[in-house]
Amino acid sequence: MTHNDYKEMIPAHALSALDAAEDRVLKEHLAGCEECRHELDDWLTTTAGLALDAPPLEPSAHVRQQILAQVHEIKVEVAPSKVLPFVAPKKSVWSSFGSLGAIAAALLFVGLIVYVVLLWRENRAIRLQVESVVAENNRIKQDLEFKNQWTQLSSAPGSKMSELNATPMAPGATAKLAFDKTGHAMLMTRGLPKAPEGKQYQLWFIVGNEKMPGKTFSPDAGGSGMLMDQVPSSAMDSAVFAITLEPTGGVKAPTGQIYLVSRS
Binding site for other proteins (CB under 8 A): 8, 11-12, 14-19, 41-60, 63-64, 66-68, 70-72, 74-75, 149, 156, 182-184, 230, 233
CB nearer other proteins, residue 63 or residue 117: 63
**Min dist. Cβ of residue 72 to other proteins (A):** 7
CB nearer other proteins, residue 57 or residue 93: 57
Cα dist from 260 to 172, 198, 250, whole Å: 10, 20, 16
**Min dist. Cβ of residue 186 to other proteins (A):** 10
**CA angle in degrees (0–180, nearest 5) for 42-46-50:** 155
CB of 149 closer than 8 Å to CB of 186: yes
CB nearer other proteins, residue 142 or residue 182: 182
φ, ψ of residue 190 in degrees (nearest 5) = -135, 145
Strand partners, 205: 212, 241
**Min dist. Cβ of residue 22 to other proteins (A):** 9
**Min dist. Cβ of residue 177 to other proteins (A):** 15
CB nearer other proteins, residue 180 or residue 246: 180
DSSP letter, residue 82: -
Q: Helices 20-32 & 98-155, crossing angle to 10 degrees?
A: 130
